[in-house]
Structure 1
Amino acid sequence: MALMTRQYSTVSQSDLDLITQAQHWNPYTILGPHPVTTSDGKKAWTVRAFLPEARKAGIVDLSKGEPGKLGPMEKTHADGFFEAVFPDRTGPFPYRLRIENHEGHSWESVDPYAFDPILTDFDLHLLGEGTHLRNYEKLGAHLITHQGFRGVLFGVWAPNAQRVSVVGNFNHWDGRRHPMRSRGATGIWEIFIPDLAEGEVYKFEIKSRNHGYTVQKTDPYGLASEMRPKTASVVWDIDRLSWGDKDWMARRTENQALDKPMAFYEVHLGSWKRKVEKENGFLGYRELAKDLVEYLDKTHFTHVELMPITEHPFDGSWGYQPVGYFAPTARHGTPDDFAFFVDYLHQHGYGVILDWVPAHFPSDVHGLGYFDGTHLYEHADPRLGEHRDWGTKIFNYGRPEVRNFLLGNALFWLDRYHIDGLRVDAVASMLYLDYSRNPGEWIPNIFGGNENLEAIDFLKQLNEICHREHPGILTMAEESTSWSGVSRPTYLGGLGFSLKWNMGWMNDTLRYIAKDPVHRKYEHGALTFSMIYAFTENFVLPLSHDEVVHGKKSILDKMPGDVWQKFANLRLLYGYMYGHPGKKLLFMGDEIAQWREWNHDESIDWHLLQWKDHQGVAQLVTDLNALYKSETALHQIDFDWQGYEWLELHDWENSVLAFLRRGKDPEEAIVVVCNFTPVVRYDYRVGVPAGGFYRELLNTDADIYNGSNVGNQGGVWAVREPHAGRPFHISLKVPPLGVLFLKAPKAGDPQSLS
């Protein structure tokens, strides 16, 4: 039977007004196919559509197959509400909408309001209680096939919204066109829009119950983003990402065990290398992958640690104020390109660590702040919800959905991009309610203390879940206080991180090394103090980006003295760092002795490598990495006294330190001697536990590093004469501002003595 036309609508005027004004809380109760009763009391079906761009519209009835039978729809509201009633139908049927606009162009489309919901009650339950670990598979934008049609499922959490719509180029950014289905008390909204494809740009337009506040937001779970300064999310299919890193993934747990060498090369992808001939200067992920692997092969670092590559609007935030938590920044390419980057490094034997930022987020209007017209992701009270130092918002860790957002995000990078670990930024700011606040500017916890109990619980849960779901990954804390047990298991009361940055060692060492050598003897304790707490945590020794910005000078320029002494001091610092217990981290540019501070808008100064001083430092870092990796005594026991023994710690007058590093095989031992003055120490005695020949493995003052080449001609023999409580001693020529690494003999070696 043909469809029925009439001069009345089966929809009330109030519902019509709510639909046409984009205020209806659940448009699925009005739009699409619905059973109705006609004016003569008969049962029928109606199809309703709001098509503000249409001059006229029709229904293509597909119940008998293609190409279908076209019938008209009646326009029952001047703003573009159309309806057709089918009195001979007893149930829904397949159809398409035929639309003709005011310019006379026509096309057919599948009605998004003809589809059933997709998110299950179980999904909604887990999302509501904050236990859906793969929430990113449900919320956001996902290319799927639903009821026989290919399209995009959109989902978003906005519990205080009156209406949420998907807007984009496909609907002229008109929030009236695709309002979403409310899934009730969970605060979840969803819609399946057929015929949309990868590459569509979109946002969520949210109209709040709060005084009609209306805003367009980037998708919190968006998998890709537009290139800044544009801020829309982009539909992307990450299910098709391909991987060739099976061997790396199989060996990762072994490669990243705490008794293995780890030398992290910290990189800001936007300024490691740039191309002046490109409009924005950025290299793509694929170019960067190949260039970085070639460089890592040369320098022998074990891992790349990436400063945040999550999408961020402001270059000057260096990525630490992200908006697109699930989107690799478009500055360097697509999600596929980033997956290639990780895969390529893995195939060549290098780990990839990602800086991750759960401590705060920016207040940009398109971001998470005031998301649905309320303080949804952040605390409402500024004493809890604002970082005044950074002008950012603090996550509400006590809200299950917010915790779930962050936990799901951490797992996302481990799940989908094979990331080998997360370095968690600004942990100290999470742990303390009074972090960088004056009295009266913070609220104590329920026990009256300054600990952020909700953040502490979140960090423990983060580490438990990440290590459970991905054994062998690393989690690292940038934690600048003396909080106890940061890298201890949660079942022992710790926070559960694998490693912690040793900010105390970094601050003390840089403050010491910046002093003129003549004054260093008065600061000797700054060097020895680190060993008081060296084994209380699993430490990384960081010389990071934070130490070469904001007027702090470059690492080289911190060094005292003339040009020769500056370079010698730098080589001394690196030698001491690689001898000291702890994993290693060096920021890009430090390895070539960059003179100026890091500038995120420019490449590091590769041209400096034409000069011998810079070549020497670069060669030293390369050789230190190689030595650190090859000698088990330098990396196997980083976190226990069994791997360390003082040989000389009291010689403050000469500013000399000497110590022994041991491997799991106690006979695997390296003697490290550091001279922090420019005075050559002749016949300097160091007590050693065994006799034999101590071979000089590395001398930071060697000619190949552009040093003065003061050394021991390959090594020295131990003398059977007690010194400093040990039965043997070696007599060394210790170079000025230099470090010696000497390999101790093993029992049974031809050059050993009993």
Structure 2
Amino acid sequence: MEFDVKRSLQNRLDNDFLLRPFESHILNILDKIDSTGKKLTGKNNWVDSLPDFASGHEYFGLHFRDGRWIFREWAPNASEIYLKGDFSGWNREKRFALSRISQNGIWEIELPENMLNHGDHYRLEMLWPGGAGERIPAWTRRVVSASDSMSFNAEVWNPVPYEWKNISPSASHFSSLLKNESEISFPNSHSPLVDREPWGKVNGQVTENKLLKTPLLIYECHIGMAQEAPGIGTFTQFRQNILPRIKDAGYKAIQIMAVAEHPYYASFGYQVSSFFACSSRFGTPEELKALVDDAHGMGIMVFMDLVHSHAVKNEVEGLSCFDGSLWQYFHKGERGEHRAWDSRCFDYGKPEVLHFLLSNCRFWMDEYRFDGFRFDGVTSMIFKHHGLDKSFTGYEDYFDQSVDEEALVYLALANVMIHKLNPDAVTIAEDVSGMPGIGIAVDNGGFGFDYRYAMGVPDHWIKLVKDTPDEEWSMGSLWHHLTDRRHDEKSISYAESHDQAMVGDQTLIHRMIGHRIYNSMSQGMVDIVVSRGIALHKMIRLITLATAGSGYLNFMGNEFGHPEWIDFPREGNGWSYHHARRMWHLVDDPMLCYSQLAEFDKDMTELACKERLLDGSFPYLLHIDESAKIIAFMRADLVFVFNFHADISKSDYMIPASPGSYTIALDTDNGLYGGFNRQDSAVIHHTITDKIHRHHLFMYLPARSGVVLTRLKRL
């Protein structure tokens, strides 16, 4: 398949006429995407060839092939490289010296089978003009803490291959691109891919498509903090204890943070050192595969929080100064330094860097069968100013000299490769800038993401809850912020993610309830502050989901109002794990209100799935009343009515609606959810026609409550 630049440009301009003044800029980027794809693969049909190019993980690093060990590394500035480890007594020996096999800096060594053993620890000793240092191999698939626990070593990892049991729910189409013989388009390097089964096969058998036809409901989670006991949770604990909770709660995908190895646990996984190694603090690669496998068996897709926006500065464990040069993987000078994150910025214009990052995307799909990725820090990638201290107020902000076109080219190529490999893979952009085209297919002139996060929604909720008294909440402003999105791009809304609960901040419910969250959450206890927090917690989630573009996200534990904030062990808190865990006993206690919030969230997600709430329809505003603090809208044949007023309920309140009879499908004020049972759920509501043939429902709307009505029959 060849990429048609002119057609892609025309599709983009036809879709958004406001882009026409920037036609030449868009054409330039599309030309760069096309020319880069051709340059990398050496073929005009680079779309088809890109997955083969992105196979560096089967060439570089340590592999056991045909009864021998073979190791390769790219280090153009190195003058000598040695393997050293348990097998050499950690001494530099000539028999473990790598040979330079290409002018552009590829090094290689072959060793007999008995030279290395499963579990051996090793590093590279890298020599370069004017210096030397030990390094963890860039492509290593296994990294473990060294004996002093302050540093890491690579580990020889050659276990019995994991036997997959379940097919991914995202595998309605599966790729046949994983061949026994496949050329890897990296300068002067060729290697056959190992035999492996493509998506859609388990134990050699083609498996029936089980693609979920339900809303994309994502459960954002962190393996290490998923357990209740102070400490670091494991893949196995998560698989056994948390996955069943997620399935029971009705979520259809998990988005796992901090998968790739990172030296500093408190970085939340956003300071990656080894891009091809899952974090050993959580367990082994096989234990991660078992987690993914079991999730697939439950009908749950698994997304990885992928960090390609920057890399940790560590030199022994990371990529910085890997071969003695600061610019091997990263930009030279100030552009190679991220001043806000104290990290290194990739040079997306280098073919070798593109090869590394594209191969990394494919590796997690090949090896662990991830169903997709949430790309972290997209705004930081696509702007040279990283979005710092920048307000994006017009299209001119997206087409000036601050745009990093090479980063946009990389993201487009990554999305093309991912979707060519698995057409049902899901990619999500964490972009706060609102860059047009991020969520549009590349052949339609965009950059290929399936979804983008509606990051303004949680910010608005915080602003309301933190800074605005209830009586001053603007219903019109709320509606605008909930629905303000590009209609040509799919988006995912959320009330709060991990970002809103990091140290120094608070979860929404903690912000609303305060210190009472510690001693006033017993069912039956009357506390007006707690009652307000519980009521708004349900309403905020329901209206956010009901107005979402195409998906909804919840962070682990927030569905039941997990108290407090997230704070990983660090020097500033005495290396405490107190806030780096989830207190599941709260939701398991039937005497506490947390269980009621969880029950509401479960029924909310069930309703969204049953009614196919996010299947493309846009919420249609029926009514706004600023003085009464009421919003009513329709979506997927459901009518949603919210009364945000603090203390005034409304009787016989008139709401426009399609003609018919309605019954209550969900009521935030239901006693099962910690409400006051002010609605009669058995009542059937009939529309009444006025003299000019308009149809209305006459509703009782209790203060601080939301109700969902479903139509029983049509007139």
Question: Same fold judged by TM-score > 0.5?
Answer: yes
Letter in 2 for 1:321: Q
Equivalent residue for 2:370, pick from 405, 419, 425: 419
Choose the corresponding residue for 1:607, options 556, 562, 585: 585
**Is 1:617 aligned with 2:582?**
no
Tell whether 2:484 aligns with 1:539.
no
Letter in 1 for 2:595: Q
Aligned length: 594
The equivalent residue for 1:37 is none
Letter in 1 for 2:619: Y
Return closer, same or farther for 1:131/1:371 CA change in 2, 3 Å cut-off.
farther
Q: Is the counterpart of residue 395 in structure 1 residue 313 in structure 2?
A: no
Task: Report the counterpart of residue 592 of structure 1 in structure 2.
Answer: 560
CA 1:161–1:239 in structure 2 vs 1: closer, same or farther (change >3 Å)? farther
Q: Residue 302 in 1 paired to residue 256 in 2?
A: no
Equivalent residues of 1:701, 1:738 under 8 A apart: yes
Query: Which digits, 9 at most, give the CA deviation of each residue in 1:613-650, with x for residues without a partner?
Result: 21111111111111111112x1212xxxx4431111x3
Matching of residue 717 in structure 1 with residue 681 in structure 2: no
Which letter does structure 2 place at the counterpart of 1:261? Answer: P
| 1:409 alignment partner, SS class | helix
What's the secondary structure of 1:339's corresponding residue?
helix
Quote how far apart the aligned CAs of 1:256 are: 6.0
Matches within 5 A, 1:17-56: none
The structure, 1 or 2, with the larger RCO (C-alpha pairs under 8 Å, 6+ apart) is: 2
| SS of equivalent residue, structure 2 residue 369 | coil
Question: What corresponds to 2:517 in structure 1?
Answer: none
- 1:494 maps to amino acid: G
* Residue correspondence of structure 1 range 62-73 to structure 2 within 5 A: none
C-alpha separation between the residues in 1 aligned to 2:260 and 2:313?
A: 16
Equivalent residue number for residue 570 of structure 1: 537
Q: Distance in 2 between matches of 1:745 and 1:644?
A: 20
Is this contact kept in 2: 1:521–1:654, CA < 8 A? no
Match of 1:700 among 661, 665, 668: 668
Query: In the alignment, which residue of structure 1 is the partner of 2:47?
Result: none
Amino acid in structure 1 at the alignment position of 2:319? L
Could you say what secondary structure the match of 1:396 adopts? Answer: coil
Q: 1:162 to 1:377 in 2, by over 3 A?
A: closer
2:384 to 420, 433, 445: 433
Give 1:284's aligned residue: 234
Conservation of the 8 A alpha-carbon contact between 2:227 and 2:582: yes
Q: 1:134 aligns with which of 44, 47, 55?
A: 55
Alpha-carbon offset, residue 378 of structure 1: 4.0
Matched residue SS, 1:461? helix
* Structure 2 counterpart of 1:144, from 65, 81, 95: 65
Q: TM-score, normalised by structure 1?
A: 0.75
Are 2:633 and 2:641, in contact at CA under 8 Å, matched by a contact in 1? yes
Please give the residue correspondences for 1:319-338 in structure 2 after superposition, counting only pairs within 5 Å: 319-338=269-288
Alignment of 1:218-297 (within 5 A): 218-227=136-145, 229-237=150-158, 240-246=161-167, 248=169, 250-251=171-172, 260-275=214-229, 281-297=231-247
> Which residue number corresponds to residue 418 of structure 2?
466
1:733 alignment partner in structure 2: 700
> What SS is found at the alignment partner of 2:53?
coil
Match of 1:199 in 2: 119
Answer yes or no: is 1:659 the counterpart of 2:633.
yes
Percent identity among equivalent residues?
25
**Change over 3 Å in CA distance of 1:315–1:743 after alignment to 2:** same
Alpha-carbon offset, residue 274 of structure 1: 4.4
**1:340 matched residue in structure 2:** 290
The answer to whether the Cα contact below 8 Å between 1:687 and 1:722 also exists between their aligned partners in 2 is: no
Q: Which has the higher strand share?
A: 1
- Evaluate the alpha carbon distance shift between residue 726 and residue 157 of structure 1 in structure 2; reply closer, same or farther with a 3 A threshold: farther
Cα offset for 1:506?
2.1
Higher-Rg structure is: 1
SS of corresponding position for 2:291: helix
Conserved? CA contact 1:378–1:385, under 8 Å: no
Q: Distance in 2 between matches of 1:247 and 1:308?
A: 21
Residue identity in the other structure for 1:397: Y
1:369/1:375 contact within 8 Å kept? yes
The CA deviation at 1:131 is: 7.2
SS at match of 2:712: coil
1:507 CA displacement: 1.5
**CA deviation profile, 1:532-565 (whole Å, cap 9, x unmatched):** 4252421111321001013221121233771211
| Conserved? CA contact 2:471–2:645, under 8 Å | no
Query: 1:621 & 1:433 partners in 2: Cα distance?
Result: 40
Q: CA deviation at 1:289?
A: 0.8
| AA aligned opposite 1:332 | F
Task: Give the secondary-structure state (helix, strand or coil) at the position aligned to 1:745.
Answer: strand
Deviation at 1:283, TM superposition (A): 3.5
Residue number in structure 1 paired with 2:511: 558
1:489-545, Cα deviation, whole Å (9 max, x unpaired): 112221110110101222123322445554334464133344242524211113210
Name the CA distance, whole Å, in 1 between partners of 2:482 and 2:533.
24
Instruction: Give 3-state SS (helix, strand or coil) of 1:286's partner.
Output: helix
Please give the root-mean-square deviation of Cα atoms over the aligned residues, in Å: 2.7
CA displacement at 1:238 relative to structure 2: 6.9
AA matched with 1:621: D
* Structure 2 Cα separation of the partners of residues 229 and 680 of structure 1: 60
Q: Structure 2 regions of 5+ residues with no counterpart?
A: 1-39, 44-49, 175-208, 391-396, 514-527, 569-576
Preserved contact between residue 51 and residue 417 of structure 2 (Cα < 8 Å): no
State the alpha-carbon separation in 1 of the partners of residues 386 and 301 from structure 2: 33
Give the TM-score of the pair, scaled to structure 2.
0.79
Deviation sequence 1:63-119 (CA, Å, 0-9, x none): xxxxxxxxxxxxxxxxxxxxxxxxxxxxxxxxxxxxxxxxxxxxxxxxxxxxxxxxx
Aligned to 1:502: 454
The answer to whether residue 655 in structure 2 is matched with residue 690 in structure 1 is no
Name the counterpart of 1:18: none
Deviation readout 1:466-503 (Å, 9 max, x if unpaired): 10111101000010112112111112221110110101
Give, in angstroms, the shift of residue 705 of structure 1. 0.8
Partner of 2:471: 519
Residue 5 of structure 1 corresponds to which residue in structure 2? none
